[in-house]
Structure 1
C-alpha cells in the first residue's frame, strides 16, 4: 500500500494486516495501541511522518527517510521494530525527562533485527531539571534478542540532532553502549563513562554545559575591573601628591585623566573550576571639587572594556574551552581625604558601576566517532551593577635625603547584583557573595630629580581577599542546581612609575607593574598593568 496526499491517515482497532505501507506524503498516525500492525513493514519518505500517537506500537520492519514521532501526553512510549531498521537520514522525535539515570523517556526498541544507516534523534525535555547521570544513563534506543545497532562497530546509526541537549546546568550526549561500553543500546548521559577510551581526560566527570563555566567566571572578571577603576582613581590623585607634601599645595585642586591596560589570569576552584585569561582596557578621569588645608573631596568616572577567554569543566572535560566573556562597564565614584600637617592621611571612596556584556560559548566539536560535538556558539546578554567602598590610611616617613616611604593599609568591600539570564531550558540566577579584601603595602617616592622635574616612585603591596563563594543557581521547571566558584586569595603586587612636571601646574605620569598569586582558592595574576596620563593642579 502507498499513502499519498498531505493529509493524515489514522489507524485504529486491531491491525492484523501483513505487508508494506509506503508513506510518500502526509502522515500515518496510530489511534489505538498496536494499531500499526505487528505484521506491517513501513517505508517513510522524506517529509512524510509516522506518528505512534503516544501509544505502544509494534511493527515488522522500518525504513526511515522522514520523521518518526513517538511523543504523547507523557514520556514512556515505545515503538518496537521486530526486524531491521534502516535510517536514511531520517529523524526520530522523543520526549524525555532530562534528569538522572532511568528517567522516563520515549524509546525505540530493535527486537532481533539490525539497525543501520543514519538517524537523527531530537529530544524534547519534559520538565526535567537536569542531573548527573549515574551508571548507564537514560536509554532511548534498546536492542534486545540479539539485535545490533552499530554500537560496537561504526557507532553511527544514531546521533542527536544538535549534538547535545541541555537541561538546567547539565548537558546530555548520546552514547552507544552502556557505562562500560558494552551492548547495543544507546543512552543519554550527562556524565562521561569511566570506561570510555574516547574521553580519557573527562572520564567519570559530570557534563556541564559551557554556559555554566562562563557564568561562574564572570563575577571574578568584573571584580577585577572594579578594582582596576579604583586603582586608577588612586593613581590619578596619588602621585604627585606633590600638593600634599608641599607647603602651599594643600589647598590646591587637582584634575587628572589617564588610560590603562591590564592583562590578567584568574583561576578558581569550584564546581566547574573556571579559568579566565584576558584584558581590561579603558580610561579614568577625576577632579577635586573641594580642596582645603586638610580636607579634599572629589569625583571621578571611568569606562572599561573587558574581554576574557574562559576554560573550565565543559561537557565532562576538565579545562575545556568554554568560550568568551566580553563587554563594557561604566563607573562613577567620589572620594574624601583628610591629611594632617605631617602628611598622614585617611581616605574613603565610594564607587558604583554598571556592566553590560555577553557570554559566547566556544562551540567546539569532538573527534570521537559516534558522538556529535557541541553546536555552534551560543550567546547570552549579561547585566550587573556593583557597589564598592574603600577605606585607606597611610603616613609618609623620610628614609633618606630626597626619599620617602609611605606605609599604607586599605580595606575594600564589593557587592554585586546580576540580572537573571535566560538560557535554553534554564535560567541562571547569579548571587555572588559580598567580596571583602584588604591591602598592606608601601609606596616609595623621590623628590624631583634635577631640573627636568622627574619624580620616580615604586609600590609593593600584599593583597588578601577573604574566603567565600560566587554562587549561581541554574533553574529549570522543577528545581535548581547550585554552582559555586570559590573566592579568596593572597597576591603580591609590584609596580613602578614616574611623573614628569612640565610646569608648575601640569605633569605627565606613567606606571607599569604586575601581580603574582601567593595562595588561596582563587589565584589572581596580572601579567601586565600599564597606565599613562596627565594631571593638572591649580
Structure 2
C-alpha cells in the first residue's frame, strides 16, 4: 500500500487569525512586519489586485511565535496573482512555514519568477508545509526557486502547477490532489517544461479520489522522485513525459507505482512516455496493493523506460509500446524478471513495436508480448524470452543475444528474425521455428531439447550447437537451410534433419541424417546436405534406429575424419546393382581417419562385382580414410571394407571376399567366411574323432590282459575273475580342412571300468565283459589361413570348449593261442561353447552312439625268444548329432554325421619279462597302424550356407607301450602314439595315456 506523509494544520482560536489586505508589494512587506510585531500565528493575506514585487525585495522572515504548537500563514489570491519577481527577491516564511496555505482561482495564485526565491522552512514544531489548495502555482525563470518540505496541491479545488524556464522546485514530499484523505473535487494540472527546469519532488504522488490529475513533463523538464512515488494513487492520475531531455526519475533503488491504493481508495494511473523522454526507476509496479487498482503504461515515439523490473501487483495492468524503448538497469534474477506477471493480451507491441535494450545486463521477459508490432533487441547482454509470445511484427537483434526459453518448455516467438547479434534456443522440449532468420548474426542451440528450423535461413553468421539438437528441416521441409557461416557441433550435441547446412561444419558431437534423428524416428528416409567441408571428430549417424535403409549424407566440400565415426544401416546382400545401404556421398576429397559402424540386416549373401558401396567419393580418397569399427557379419560371411573397384578407385565398398589389396574384385579373390563359421563347421568333426578315440583299442583300454592274467591268481590259486580299471589320456590334434580352415585340439579324458571274467578256459584263454564311463574335456582353437590374404586380419578365428560324458560296455574273448575278439558299444553327450575372435558366442549340445569290433592274433617270430608280432584289424562306426543353435548373427544348423573308420596294423611285443624277484612281469610293445575314414563328415549350415569339413581321411599311427603286472592283482600300462596324414590335408596327432587295473 502506498503511504503518504501528511502534515496537520492546527485549528487556532479565531481571534488569532488576523487578515491583511495586500494591494501592493509594500503592503506585503508591511503585513509581514506587523504579523511579526503582533506575534500573529495565523495571519491571512488577501490580495486585492495583482501584485508583483520589484527585484531585490526582501519579504520579512516570519518570526512570530504566537501560541499553540506552531504558526501558519494564509494567502488568499482570488483571481489575482502574487508574483515574487526579480533577482534578489526572497521570501522566507520563517516561523509561518508550518502551514503556508495558498488558495486562488483560475490564473490567480502565486508566481516565483526571474530569479526570486520562496522558502517555506521547517519550524521547531512542524515541517515546512505548502498547501496550494487552488489556483495556479508558477515557478519560472533562471534562478527562480521554491523550497518546501511538504507540498500539497488541490485540496480546495482546481489547481495548476507550472514549472518552466529553468525554474527550480524542491519538496521532500509532494501530494498532487491528496493529503490526509481530505480533498475537494478538482481538476489538477502539472506542467514541468524546458531544459534546466527541475523539480526535486521527493516522495511524489498524483491522484485523489475525486480529482483528475494530469502531469506533463516536456521539452527537457525533469522531475526527480524517491521510492514509492506513484501516479494515479487513490484516484485517477496521468503523467505524460515527452520530448528529448525530459525525464521522470525515481532515484536510487526506488519503485515507481502506476495506480495505487491509499485511504481505502483505488487508484487508476496512466504513464505515457514519448518523443525521446526518459522515465527511470529501479522497479515499476502497476495496480498496486489492491485488486481494484489499475495501471496503464504507454511508451511511444522513442520514449524510454529505464527499469530493472516491470510488473503488475494485485490490480490490473496494461502496457503498450509503439516505437518505444525499454532499457534494462539491472540483471534479472530468479523470480525477478525484467518483464513478468502480465496476463496474455495486456502487454502489447503496437505498430511501432518495442526496442528492448539489455544495456549490458542479462534480463528476462517472462510475460506474453502480443500485438501487431515487433521486438528489437538492443545492447550488449542477453534477453531471455520465457513466454510463448504472439506479436506478429517480427524480431530484430541489433546487438547482444536474444534467447528463446530458459531450459524449460516455453519461450518462443513467431515470424522472421533479423539477426545481427545471436539468436539462441534454450528449450528442453521439441519446438519448431518456421520464421526466416536473416542478418549478419549467429544462431546458437544451447538447450537440451530439440529445435527444428524449417525456413530457408539467410543469416551470414555462424551456428553453434552446444547442447541438445538443432534440426534443419523436418520431413516436410527438406528445403530448409542454415546460414552461410561456419557451424560447430559440441560433444554431446546433435545437428541433423532433412535440410541443408550452407557452410562448413566441424563436428565433435553427432550429425544425424533424416530419421536417424530420434525426433524424426517415425518419419521417412531422406538426405541431409552439408554444402561446405565437414570435419568429423564425433559421430555421423546416417542410420535410422528403426533399421530403415536409404538415408544419405551429402558433403559438398571435402570430408576429413578426425578419428570420427560413420554409422550406416546396410542390407548385406550381393551388392552391385542390388545395393541397399545408407551412404556418405562426398563431392570433394576425403582424408584423415573415420571408423565405419555398419548396422547390418539380411541373412548374408556373397557379394558380387564391386560389392556394397558405402562411401561415394567424387574427388580423391586417401588410403585408410575409412575403416570398419567392428566386424560386419551375416550368415556364413564376413564383409570387409575395400577402397576402389571397377566403377571407381576412390569409393569404399563392403565385400565378402578376402583380397590381397584394394581395387577391383578379381577371380582370385576368395570367400571371406566369418570367424565363427570355422568352429561351427569343424567342431562336429572334432567331437566325432573324440568319440572314436575314447573307444580306443583293446590294449589302450584295459592293458595286455592276455599276457598277464595267467600269472595272477587269487588266494585259492585260481585265476582272478573280477577287476576294475581306469586310464587317463591326453591328446593333441592338429587338423586342416578345406576353405583354409584348421583346428588345434587338446583333449583330456578319464575312463573307468568294471571288468567281469565270465570264463577261464581249461587250456587257457578267457572271456570278459565290462562297463565303462568316460569324462572328457575338448578344447580347440581355430584358424583360417586364407584370412592372411587381407593384411588387416589375423588367421585366428575363435575357440570351442566341449565337455563330454560317455557310458559304454564291452565284451572280449581271448583264445588260448592269444587270438582275441573285442567288441565295444558307447553313448556320448557333448556340450560345446563357442567364442569367436569378435566375442560372439554360442552353445551347442549333441550326442553320439558308436560301436567297435577288433580282432588280433599273435605269432611268435622264428628264432626269437618270446618276441611276437600281432596283426590287428578294427572297424569303428559312430553316429553323431549336434543340435542347431544361434549366435545372434545367424542360425547354425544341426549336424548329423555317420562315421566309419577302419584300422589295420601290427603290434610287436615281448610278453611277460619277469623281474628278478619273480613278482612281476613286463610286456613292452610297439605298434604301427594305418587308419582310414570311409565317410566324409556331415555338413553344417551357417546362415543357410552349407559348410563341410574335408580333412585328411587316411593317416598312419606309430606307438609304443608297456604293460607291467605287479603281484597277484595290479597291472600298470602306458603308451604313446604319433599320427600323421597320408595325403590330403594336414593332420597330426600326439597321444599319451596311463592306466591301472586291479583284479581279484
The TM-score range, normalised by the shorter chain, is: 0.7 to 0.9
> Aligned to 1:183, which of 633, 646, 649?
649
Say which structure is richer in strand: 1
**1:143 corresponds to which residue?**
617
> Aligned to 1:456, which of 904, 920, 924?
924
RMSD: 3.2
**1:402 corresponds to which residue?**
866
- SS of the residue aligned with 2:701? helix
Q: Which runs of 5+ in 2 are unaligned?
A: 1-442, 481-497, 516-524, 761-765
C-alpha contact 1:411 1:438 (8 A) present in aligned 2: yes
- CA 1:379–1:203: 2 relative to 1, 3 Å: farther
- Structure 1 segment 43-442 matched on structure 2, within 5 A: 43=505, 45-53=507-515, 54-61=525-532, 62-72=534-544, 74-102=548-576, 103-111=579-587, 113-126=588-601, 128-144=602-618, 147-150=619-622, 155-162=623-630, 164-178=631-645, 183-193=649-659, 196=662, 204-231=669-696, 234-242=699-707, 252-269=721-738, 272-289=739-756, 291-293=758-760, 295-313=767-785, 315=787, 317=789, 320-362=795-837, 377-400=839-862, 401-442=865-906
Structure 1: distance between partners of 2:539 and 2:661 = 33
- CA 1:242–1:291: 2 relative to 1, 3 Å: farther
1:243-279 deviations in Å (ceiling 9; x for gaps):
677798877233212222222221222xx23222343
Structure 1: distance between partners of 2:540 and 2:470 = 10
**2:361 corresponds to which residue?**
none
**2:444 corresponds to which residue?**
2
**CA drift at 1:448:** 1.5
- SS of the residue aligned with 1:236? helix
1:332-355 deviations in Å (ceiling 9; x for gaps):
211122444544333321112223
- SS of the residue aligned with 1:241? helix
C-alpha contact 1:52 1:69 (8 A) present in aligned 2: no
> Aligned to 1:447, which of 903, 911, 923?
911
- CA 1:469–1:408: 2 relative to 1, 3 Å: same
**CA drift at 1:8:** 2.4
**CA drift at 1:110:** 1.1
- CA 1:39–1:415: 2 relative to 1, 3 Å: same
**CA drift at 1:487:** 4.5
Comparing 383-392 with 225-234, which one deviates more in the overlay? 225-234
Structure 2: distance between partners of 1:446 and 1:245 = 15
Structure 1: distance between partners of 2:613 and 2:874 = 58
TM-score between both structures, scaled by the size of structure 2? 0.47
C-alpha contact 1:105 1:140 (8 A) present in aligned 2: yes
- CA 1:98–1:169: 2 relative to 1, 3 Å: same
Comparing 499-508 with 116-125, which one deviates more in the overlay? 116-125
**CA drift at 1:109:** 0.9
Q: Which has the higher contact order (CA 8 A, sep 6+)?
A: 1
- CA 1:138–1:355: 2 relative to 1, 3 Å: same
C-alpha contact 2:507 2:538 (8 A) present in aligned 1: yes
C-alpha contact 1:298 1:334 (8 A) present in aligned 2: yes
Q: Which runs of 5+ in 1 are unaligned?
A: 363-375
Number of residue pairs matched by the alignment = 505
1:420-470 deviations in Å (ceiling 9; x for gaps):
332242122241521111112223332312335122222222211114134
